[in-house]
Amino acid sequence: MDEVTTAAGPRLTAVLGGVGGALLLVVAMSPDSNAGGLAPFLGLVDIGGFHGEGWALPITTIAVTGLGLALTRFWPCLLVAAGLVSIAPVLLEPPFAPASEPFPLYVAGEVRGPLALIGVLACAQGLVRRGAAGWGSAVTGLSIGAAVLGSALLGPIWVSSAGLKHDHLVMLAIGVLAQAPMLRARPRGEPEIAGPWWPRVRLPLTGMLAVAAVIPFGLLSTDQLSRLLGVGADQLQRHPLAVEGVFGAFLLVTTLILALVSGLWSFGGVLTVAITHTAVVAPLLLAITGLGLQPTTSWLATLAGIAIGAGAVAGRWRIPGAAGLAVGASVALFIAYAATGGWPQKLADQSEVVPSVVILVLIAAAATAVTGATAPVLAPRGALPTALGPLATMLGTGGIAAVATTYLGSNGEPESSFLNPVQHLNTAAILLLVAAAAIGGLGLADLLAARRAERKRTEQIRQEAAAAERDRLARPIHDGVLQVLALVQRHGSEMGGPGPELAELAGAQEVALRNLLSGHPAGGGSAREDLRTALMRLASPAIDVAAPADPVMLPGRAAGELTAAVLAALDNVRRHAGPGARVWILLEDERDGVRVTVRDDGVGFGPERLAEAAARGRLGVAQSMRGRITDLGGTTTIDSRPGEGTEVEFWVPRRSQG
């Protein structure tokens, strides 16, 4: 997303784009071209073999997934592409369709789901990373809420729903138009990830591999699978759920490994959402079948549940809210199972409206809330589109297929009823409790990690402050005590005893030290001072000072620190430049700052001299000169060569802190 989303208006524009993307996802997750078929959210993945043109479907889906994950920064473009691709099935309807179904258009219709899902999740990630965690969580919840709503639009399972409905066309139009404001803003998106290549490609690569996981299983024929499992081919044909269970187990193991490769935080989020995905299938089937004769009530109840779930995660207490809704939905399922004497299908057979509405509202709310609550954990790490997109989708698909093998009748055989999963409503209730515990654990882990990071930042700030304070105290000590001691040594060796100059300096340093210890260091006032006057006082037969004719006014502290740095440079000349060295001081009053140059014609020094002096604890340059100017926001440049003298240049910005 663009940086403009930090403002309230553009942020709402991004939210509008996410909601529009959710509408596109509703269309992708609803049965638009399968006559009486299941919505993709409820149906099974086609695990048949790939022959001829059939290879175009998985290859195109894998390529589109990888491209979408690589371009998440430009999520409005992804959503527009999803909308345009979604219109393709219209061409399959009379009078536009030819006699045979165009295979390219069929493939195009299959990739709209990945595009819309990645676009919505990328929008949510951008909102969270720009400081709108509540909005980002709500949009994330819409990713699964849209799938639930698309399934709720199924209507009676015996009624053909072939072709795009009028409400689908309306949602497509709104979804595409909602991206227009963000496209006009020309979003630059999130910054590129710097550093090694692996972190940049890990997430898109794992997402692509997750989608490609269906290919190895699809290549196996029934005979090959029977030999692999050590059973007869006729047994597999009599027990199709066994094949489905093996496929589910394979998909679970493969996707879990890929989720671990994508990162531990991604793994936790993927597992949480996939459990939720698996848990809501059976109660959703029960609710939409019970409301089959009242489709308007079905989608209104679903919208109410989505709104409740999105509202629960939009505030600060999103983790407790999500866990509470999941537990509430679980309790409702346990009650429904017990109230029907272990035969929940009665609610569907008798078209019980009130229980179906309650279940549908709670299921939609729990799924939306649990999914949305993972956003603040995954989005800062850039893992949201991959984790809740291809990884969670494939893991959820594997979970649905694996759990289906436990849906057996009283005789131990699977029932052929479409509502067979409904009879095992208690399994869905248990999975919802697991999802509640998972989101709670993920939130707790994120909280502990945030506190640990905060402690590290606090400790780093404390250490930096302590180091800065040591430097600040060392500068006056160096300029005062150490230089006076050096002067005492020179006078003691050259004159045989102290002189008047030494007594005057010692008295001045005593006052400075007392001010420092009392917390009132000299030169700390905020009044403006004339730097030109201060430097002109340094002129002597050995020191030439060139300055502008007009005063050079600076804040009191800046003028004092800059003068002290010049004095430190003069002291270095006195001690190291050699006898008879001359000094030139040039003061320049520039528009945006002040520049002072101190140049001498002494013996100079090599480039390694400063590092050696610092290693021995001689910090005149590091602290008294460079440290002072750095504190003022300025720069210090030192240029010297043996036999060519030394030039020290100080530059302080005009708006330096006084």
Q: What is the pLDDT of residue 625?
A: 80
Q: Is 545 helix (H, G, I), strand (E, B) or coil?
A: strand
Report pLDDT for 170: 83
Q: Which three-class secondary structure string do you get for 179-196?
A: CHHHHHCCCCCCCCCCCC
The predicted pLDDT at position 407 comes to 74
What pLDDT does 36 receive? 34
pLDDT at 99 over 70: no
Residue 597: pLDDT band (50, 70, 90) is: very high
Q: Kind of pairing, strands 528-530 and 646-653?
A: unpaired
Q: Which amino acid is at 614?
A: A
Lowest-confidence pick of 128-137, 150-159, 618-627: 150-159
Q: Which residue has the tokens 């053909």?
A: 160
**pLDDT at residue 537 in the model:** 87
pLDDT tens sequence across 61-89:
888 888 999 888 888 888 888 888 877 66
- As a whole number of angstroms, the distance between CA 166 and CA 394 comes to 30
Q: What's the confidence (pLDDT) of residue 306?
A: 93
Distance CA 274, CA 392 (A): 5
HEC assignment per residue over 572-641:
HHHHHCCCCCCEEEEEEECCCEEEEEEEECCCCCCCCHHHHHHHCCCCHHHHHHHHHHHHCCCEEEEEEC
**Residue 370 CB neighbours (<10 A):** 35
pLDDT tops 50 at residue 610: yes
pLDDT in tens, 402-459: 887 777 766 666 665 667 778 888 889 999 999 999 999 999 998 898 888 888 888 8
Under the banding of pLDDT at 50, 70 and 90, the label for residue 102 is low
Q: Is the pLDDT of residue 578 over 60?
A: yes
Under the banding of pLDDT at 50, 70 and 90, the label for residue 331 is: very high
Mean pLDDT, residues 588-597:
91
What is the band of 371 on the pLDDT scale with cuts at 50, 70, 90?
Answer: very high
CB 203 within 8 A of CB 386: yes
Could you report the per-residue pLDDT of 211-249, keeping only the tens digit for each?
888 787 767 766 777 777 777 666 666 666 677 777 888
pLDDT at 509: 53
488-526 tens-digit pLDDT: 545 544 554 555 555 455 545 544 554 554 444 554 555
Q: Are 48 and 161 in contact (CB under 8 A)?
A: no
- At residue 549, the pLDDT reads 87
Q: How far is C-alpha 550 from the chain's CA centre?
A: 54
Q: Using one digit for the tens of pLDDT, what is the confidence trace for 306-321?
A: 999 999 999 889 999 9
What confidence score (pLDDT) does residue 299 get?
83
Distances 493 to 299, 452, 489, 496 between C-alpha atoms, Å:
99, 58, 6, 6
**What pLDDT was estimated at residue 31?**
62
Largest CA-CA distance found in the chain, in angstroms, rounded: 117
* SS3 label, residue 553: strand
Nearest to 179 by CA among 139, 121, 138, 120: 120
Q: What is the pLDDT of residues 456-474, one digit of tens each?
A: 888 888 777 776 766 666 6
For residues 352 and 350, give the distance between their C-alpha atoms in angstroms, rounded to a whole number: 6
Distance of alpha carbon 138 from the chain centroid: 15
pLDDT for position 478: 57
Quote the pLDDT of residue 37: 35
Question: Among all chains, which residue has been given the structure tokens 């620190």?
Answer: 561
Nearest partner of 436 among 325, 323, 273, judged by Cα: 323
Residue 40 has pLDDT above 70, yes or no: no
| AA letter at 240 | P
Average pLDDT score, the chain:
77
Residues 148-192: pLDDT tens digits? 888 777 544 333 344 456 777 788 888 888 888 887 765 544 444
Residue 400 has pLDDT above 80, yes or no: yes
For 337-367, the pLDDT digits (tens) are 898 888 888 888 787 889 989 999 999 999 9
252, 214, 207: which is closest to 396 by C-alpha? Answer: 252
pLDDT at 139: 93
Predicted confidence (pLDDT) at residue 545 exceeds the cutoff of 70: yes
The pTM (predicted TM-score) of the whole model is: 0.68
Token readout for 485 is 């001691």
Backbone angles phi, psi at 315, to 5 degrees: -100, -170
Q: What angle do CA 331, 305, 112 make, to 5 degrees?
A: 120
Mean pLDDT for 370-381 is: 92
Quick check: 621 and 610 in contact, CB under 8 A? yes
What residue type is 600 in one-letter code?
D
CA 359, 360, 364 angle in degrees (round to 5)? Answer: 115
Average pLDDT over residues 555-566: 86
